[in-house]
Amino acid sequence: MAEDKARKLVANNKKAYHDYFIEEKYEAGIELFGTEVKSIRQGKCSIKEAWISIDKGEAFIMGMNITPYEKGNIFNKDPLRVKKLLLHKTEIRKLDQQKMVQGYTLVPLEVYFKSGRVKVEIGLAKGKKLYDKRADMAKKDQQREAEKEFKMRFK
């Protein structure tokens, strides 16, 4: 309970849940500069087209857009620059081995503040086929209809 209150969500990637089956989740820190953190505090961050790459034993997040801080000047960085993820070596090795399996990829799911630090939730994901997406959409529609009927019955 106290942990949830300390966690402030900044950005989430709903599209990842639509496009992938999320097998496992990991929490990682991000190596950022001061003006980037200030911009994230204002909620100006997007991970919709971001992905995670592992290169030479280090994890990086690519395509994460952090809008430049308005009051920053020469200290602003490129909004789409590659950012290093802070994970333990064993976690990186494990993720790299699992990623080698056919069809698996690493996607960012959420960016949030936890105890004043910027964290990203990473998902080990397997791509969905078109019929899987359709089945999920049908299931959600059916659930929505059932909730609507339930509300109307007990009004």
Q: What is the pLDDT of residue 76?
A: 73
Counted domains in the chain: 1
> Nearest to residue 36, comparing CAs of 84, 72, 12, 8?
72
Per-residue pLDDT tens over the stretch 46-73: 898 889 999 888 999 998 888 888 776 7
How much is the pLDDT for 72? 67
**37 within some domain:** yes
Average pLDDT, the chain: 85
Is 75 part of any domain?
A: yes
Nearest partner of 62 among 40, 39, 85, judged by Cα:
85
Asked if the structure places residue 14 within a domain, the reply is yes
Domain assignment of residue 58, yes or no: yes
The string of pLDDT tens digits covering residues 68-119 is 887 767 767 777 888 899 999 999 999 888 888 777 889 999 999 998 899 9
Q: Looking at residue 22, which CATH number applies to its domain?
A: 2.40.280.10
Q: Is 50 exposed, middle or buried (0-12, 13-18, 19+ CB in 10 A)?
A: buried
pLDDT interval class at 1 (50, 70, 90): very low
Q: Is 1 within a domain? A: no
Residue 137 falls inside a structural domain: no
Residue 61 lies in a domain: yes
pLDDT for 16: 86
Alpha carbon distances (Å) from 91 to 18, 27, 72, 121: 25, 10, 35, 13
At residue 42, the pLDDT reads 87
Q: Which domain holds residue 61?
A: 8-128
In a domain, 63, yes or no: yes
